[in-house]
Every structure is written in structure tokens, then in C-alpha cells.
């Protein structure tokens, strides 16, 4: 067990020392907005009574990867399958890169492989929340 700051954890993920599930990667990207625990505490105290939004990621299968669509994304369905009873599968023959070039309103996590994730958000976060920093962990774009 090792303690890591959010940027350190993301670096460990990028170098494949650890694995992070997409929701945890997203939240670490959000925590990268704060340079200290004091800043995070002040932010959370200031927005504590604003409310929260329930999210249900929807997977879009592309020809070369997956996109986890989140509420507010232009491709997010109006009526997501919260229970799994409808067995709705979203898929396309397009490549992830083409979907990104065609799109304008993003709230998504692009998944090319288990250690190749990227967060794209250009919508306003609800309830005075903080959007994640858009960090790309792909091998061809290795930056933090």
C-alpha cells in the first residue's frame, strides 16, 4: 500500500505500475484541480449544500475502442438503461478518432485499452462542481 497524490497516481497509471478503473481515473483528474488538501477542503465545504447528480455511464462501442458517455455529452441517450432490462447496446463502425472529430459537446472517457484512457469535458459542471482536467493517458500522447 502506497499513498500517492492524484498526479502521482495518474503517472503510475500512465507508466502501467497501477491500474485504475475509468470512474477512479475521472475522479483523480478532477482532484488534479487542487494543489493542496486545504484547497480541496475549502471547495468541498463551499459547495456541500449545492447537490449532486446521479450518473450512469453509457458505453458506446467504436471500431477501435470504447467511449463511456456521461450526462451532458451530445451522444448520451435521453433515456439511459439504468436497470439493464432493456439490453440497449450502443455501437458504431466509426473509429474513436472520427467520433471525436465530429463531436462538439463532450462529457466522456475514451478507452482504447486498459491503460489508455482520456477524459474529454467541455460542458459546464452542475451544482458548482469542478470538471476534471482533461488528461490523456494514451501511449502516443504521454503528458500530465
Report if residue 83 sits inside a domain: yes
Report if residue 103 sits inside a domain: yes
DSSP class of residue 136 equals B
Report if residue 135 sits inside a domain: no
**pLDDT tens-digit series, residues 2-56:** 889 999 999 999 899 999 999 999 999 999 999 999 999 999 999 988 988 888 8
Report if residue 143 sits inside a domain: no
Long-range contacts of 83-89 (CB under 8 A, 24+ apart): 89/61
* Among 66, 136, 59, 63, CA closest to 94: 63
> Could you tell me the three cell numbers for 47?
459547495
Report field, pTM of the whole predicted structure over 0.75: yes
- Contact, 111 vs 68, CB < 8 A? yes
Report if residue 140 sits inside a domain: no
Coil vs helix vs strand at 104: coil
**pLDDT tens-digit series, residues 62-111:** 999 999 999 999 999 988 887 778 777 899 999 999 999 999 999 999 99
pLDDT of residue 144: 30
- The range of the structural domain enclosing residue 15 comes to 6-121
> Could you tell me the three cell numbers for 56?
450512469
Report if residue 108 sits inside a domain: yes
Number of domains in the chain: 1
Report if residue 142 sits inside a domain: no
Report if residue 112 sits inside a domain: yes
Amino acid at each position: 500500500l502506497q499513498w500517492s497524490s492524484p498526479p502521482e497516481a495518474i503517472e503510475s497509471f500512465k507508466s502501467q505500475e497501477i491500474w485504475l478503473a475509468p470512474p477512479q481515473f475521472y475522479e483523480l483528474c478532477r482532484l488534479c484541480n487542487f494543489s493542496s488538501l486545504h484547497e480541496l477542503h475549502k471547495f468541498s465545504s463551499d459547495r456541500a449544500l449545492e447537490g449532486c447528480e446521479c450518473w450512469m455511464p453509457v458505453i458506446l462501442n467504436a471500431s477501435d475502442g470504447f467511449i463511456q458517455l456521461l450526462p451532458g455529452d451530445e451522444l448520451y441517450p435521453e433515456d439511459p438503461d439504468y436497470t439493464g432490462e432493456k439490453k440497449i447496446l450502443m455501437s458504431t463502425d466509426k473509429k474513436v478518432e472520427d467520433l471525436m472529430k465530429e463531436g462538439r459537446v463532450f462529457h466522456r472517457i475514451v478507452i482504447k485499452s486498459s491503460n489508455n484512457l482520456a477524459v474529454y469535458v467541455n460542458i459546464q459542471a452542475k451544482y458548482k462542481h469542478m470538471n476534471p482536467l482533461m488528461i490523456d493517458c494514451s501511449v502516443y500522447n504521454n503528458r500530465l
